[in-house]
Amino acid sequence: MAGFFAAIAWLIGNVMANFAALDKSFGFGFLWELPANYDINQTLIDYNSQDTHARAALVGLINTGLVAILGIVIATVLGFTLGAMRLSSNWLVAKFAYCFVEFTRNVPVLLHILLWHGIIIHTLPHPRQALGLGNSIFLSNRGFYIPRPVFEDGAWVLFAAFIVGIAIAVLVRRHAKTIRDTTGRSIPVFWIGAIAIIGLPAIAYVAAGTQVSFELPAFRGFNYQGGLTLIPELVALTWALSIYTAAFIAENVRGGILAVHKGQREAAESLGLRPNRVLTLVVLPQALRVIIPPLTSQYLNLTKNSSLAIAIGYMDLVATLGGITLNQTGREMESMLLVMLIYLAISLFIASLMNWFNRSVRLIER
């Protein structure tokens, strides 16, 4: 411990000496300097090149969060599906999943990102010859264009109804579990939850007269205007990270399922349960205790791997605060320290959520 703290003290002293030699001060006031003087190709909040570096960093952080959230959702669905396919009795399904997993996880993630970015850029047509799905969705090498919902006054009623529907679905699920544990009867939780989540907002829309319109993308000039635009960099990065992480999650799921003794499955089948019910009610609840710890690591890896976005020009936290802002202000120490602390905070937040979930499914011993 003495050696560790001595090394930390030496590093701090070395930094202070170098700052003094360069006549530089340490501070974070540069974040509020105007203007940032650079554009960002993906913005979910208002931003222009005349905003502060702090605003640019916030846009980059939101872009990082967008990729992380979408990637985790897609990777989880693909990973659990592929993990179940690996154990399928159908030879073709099992071998397809095996080949996909082995190819994907043994190729560096950066090559996946470059590959999918190249496919989108060089395979899809120019905006003038964009592929259209009806008159509302268009695919081109400059982005994917979809309708954008426009909420008018009173739209909060829809959001409130949606939240109430989710709450009802959660309560029904808990009640159904209690009934199943005490009586053995099953309640169609999925359909009740779906009706609550979809039906309540629909009723609120009709009753309150809330108008929701859609802004459709339209070709003007040299590109499409209006609607929502998913830039190629966002699509390529999210998809590449998702399939790469899904390959590892699939192996975690396969290992977790195999860790459940086959007698559990045989006992459930002897009671007349269908194979899908055996998997969801008997096998997966026990396998989750094995799956969740490595699954947490994969979520953290996906989030941190999103920093490779700079390779294809997607403006995330590293490209904004750790890239252009750093070069323009010369505040390399402060910029990189902030980037490290932000990634650390995000990782600790994800880990804490997964640890909470892990505690909720663990065995409760006497």
CATH number for the domain that contains residue 236? 1.10.3720.10
Is residue 109 over pLDDT 80? yes
Q: Cα–Cα distance between 322 and 337 in angstroms, integer?
A: 9
Q: Cα–Cα distance between 308 and 344 in angstroms, integer?
A: 17
Mean of the pLDDT values across residues 99-126?
Answer: 93
- CA 75: distance to chain centroid? 8
φ, ψ dihedrals at 187, nearest 5° = -110, 140
Q: Cα–Cα distance between 201 and 86 in angstroms, integer?
A: 39
Question: What value does the mean pLDDT of the chain take?
Answer: 89
State what percent of residues in the chain have pLDDT above 90.
48
The CA–CA distances, whole Å, from 246 to 97, 110, 308, 342, 348 equal: 11, 15, 18, 25, 21
Mean of the pLDDT values across residues 70-98?
Answer: 93
In the numeric block, which tokens belong to residue 176? 């159904």
Is residue 320 over pLDDT 70? yes
Give the range of the structural domain holding residue 241, as residue numbers without chain letter. Answer: 36-133+232-331
* pLDDT number for residue 364: 65
Residue 48 lies in a domain: yes
Mean pLDDT lowest for which of 56-70, 80-94, 140-154, 326-340?
140-154
Mean of the pLDDT values across residues 182-196?
Answer: 82
What is the number of structural domains in the chain?
Answer: 1
User: What pLDDT, in 10s, does the model give residues 16-53?
Assistant: 898 888 888 888 888 998 889 999 988 888 999 999 99
Residue 307 lies in a domain: yes
Mean of the pLDDT values across residues 256-269?
Answer: 88
Predicted confidence band at 235 (pLDDT cuts at 50, 70, 90)?
very high
Residue 225 lies in a domain: no
Residue 4 lies in a domain: no
pLDDT greater at residue 286 or residue 184? 286
Q: Rg for the chain (alpha carbons), in Å?
A: 25
Residues recorded for the chain: 366
Residue 18 lies in a domain: no
Residue 320 lies in a domain: yes
Q: Where are the alpha helices (DSSP H) in the chain?
A: 2-21, 53-86, 91-105, 109-123, 156-183, 189-208, 232-258, 262-270, 275-278, 284-305, 317-319, 326-329, 332-361
Mean of the pLDDT values across residues 214-230?
Answer: 84
Residue 339 lies in a domain: no
pLDDT greater at residue 64 or residue 219? 64
Residue 10 lies in a domain: no
User: What pLDDT, in 10s, does the model give residues 301-312?
Assistant: 999 999 999 999
State what percent of residues in the chain have pLDDT above 70.
98
Mean pLDDT lowest for which of 72-76, 105-109, 185-189, 313-317?
185-189
Q: Cα–Cα distance between 161 and 165 in angstroms, integer?
A: 6
Of 238-247, 328-337, 355-364, highest mean pLDDT: 238-247
